[in-house]
């Protein structure tokens, strides 16, 4: 429905611009109202004088998505909904990951440890209840997108920040729910995710 509406709006804009251009050229042909039109140069419709300018309008690209089966459409809608659900958390996770890396590079080990603990406490207070409400599939999508944006699988990220024991602990919990934190994001295997990210464009930008 959104794509159809977007196409209709695009068509209406094109008609409006074409109408405006033709009206401008017609006005040049008949002269200004209330003046002697014979005193004005006459131009044929479609012919623009060298001294005049033509509006330059750039339309955004339109992504056209189509699938062969209802199952593929259902997968598309489910995947898109999961991405939109976890996207705010992915953006926060990437920002915190970068901040922690910078802090580790510029601080002593003790300062970094205190900073990390304070940050973890703050994030737990803000988002722990929300993250608990995520479904298993939404949680898996969160791990995949964090992997995509940081370049590290979640096991490696946790190991870097929390240590090997906590990485093992969270891996055991993840395996209980059916996914592996050691999995690396592969855009070739996740074509549906990549398609939706491309469709979202600036809305996905992290």
Are 58 and 90 found together in one domain? no
Instruction: Give the global pTM.
Output: 0.64
Give the confidence band of 187 by pLDDT, cuts at 50, 70, 90: very high
182 and 164 inside one domain:
yes
| pLDDT surpasses 70 at 13 | no
Residues 154 and 81 in one domain: yes
Last residue of a domain, one of 21, 37, 62: 62
User: Does residue 11 carry a pLDDT above 50?
Assistant: no
pLDDT band at 28 (very low <50, low <70, confident <90, very high): very low
Domain ranges, residue 77: 70-203
pLDDT in tens, 49-97: 555 565 666 666 666 677 788 999 999 999 999 999 999 999 998 998 8
Q: 50 and 112 share a domain?
A: no
Pair (113, 196) in one structural domain: yes
DSSP run (H or E) holding 132 = helix 109-132
- Give the pLDDT band (50/70/90) at residue 27: very low
Same domain, 74 and 3: no
What is the per-residue pLDDT for 189? 93
Whether the per-residue pLDDT at 199 is higher than 50: the answer is: yes
Q: How confident is the model at residue 173 (pLDDT cuts 50, 70, 90)?
A: confident
Q: Same domain, yes or no, for 152 and 182?
A: yes
Percent of the chain at pLDDT > 70 equals 69
As a whole number, mean pLDDT of residues 151-164 equals 86
- Single out the residue in 62, 78, 97 at which a domain terminates: 62
Residue 185 has pLDDT above 50, yes or no: yes
Residues 160 and 86 occupy one common structural domain: yes
Verify that 106 and 198 share a domain, yes or no: yes
**84 or 45: which carries more pLDDT confidence?**
84
Nearest to 99 by CA among 118, 73, 81, 72: 118
Could you tell me how many helices (H) and strands (E) the chain has, helices first?
A: 7, 0
Distance from C-alpha of 199 to C-alpha of 191, rounded to nearest angstrom: 12
**Residue 141: predicted pLDDT:** 94
Helix 70-106 to helix 109-132 angle (10° resolution) is: 160
Total structural domains in the chain?
2
Q: Which of 46, 62, 78 is the last residue of a domain?
A: 62
Same domain, 27 and 78: no
Same domain, yes or no, for 174 and 196? yes
- Whether residues 19 and 77 fall in one domain: no
């Amino acid at each position: 429905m959104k794509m159809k509406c977007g196409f209709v709006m695009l068509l209406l804009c094109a008609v409006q611009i074409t109408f405006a251009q033709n009206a401008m050229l017609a006005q040049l042909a008949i002269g200004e109202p209330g003046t002697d039109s014979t005193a004005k140069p006459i131009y044929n419709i479609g012919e623009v004088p060298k001294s005049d300018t033509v509006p330059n309008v750039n339309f955004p690209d339109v992504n056209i998505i189509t699938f062969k089966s209802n199952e593929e459409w259902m997968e598309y809608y489910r995947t898109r909904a999961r991405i939109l659900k976890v996207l705010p958390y992915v953006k926060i996770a990437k920002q915190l990951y970068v901040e922690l890396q910078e802090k580790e590079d510029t601080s002593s080990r003790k300062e970094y440890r205190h900073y990390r603990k304070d940050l973890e406490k703050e994030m737990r207070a803000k988002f722990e209840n929300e993250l608990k409400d995520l479904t298993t599939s939404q949680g898996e999508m969160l791990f995949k997108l964090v992997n995509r944006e940081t370049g590290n699988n979640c096991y490696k990220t946790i190991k870097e920040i929390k240590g090997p024991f906590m990485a093992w602990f969270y891996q055991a919990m993840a395996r209980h729910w059916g996914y592996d934190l050691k999995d690396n994001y592969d855009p070739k295997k996740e074509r549906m995710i990549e398609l939706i990210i491309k469709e979202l464009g600036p809305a996905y930008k992290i």
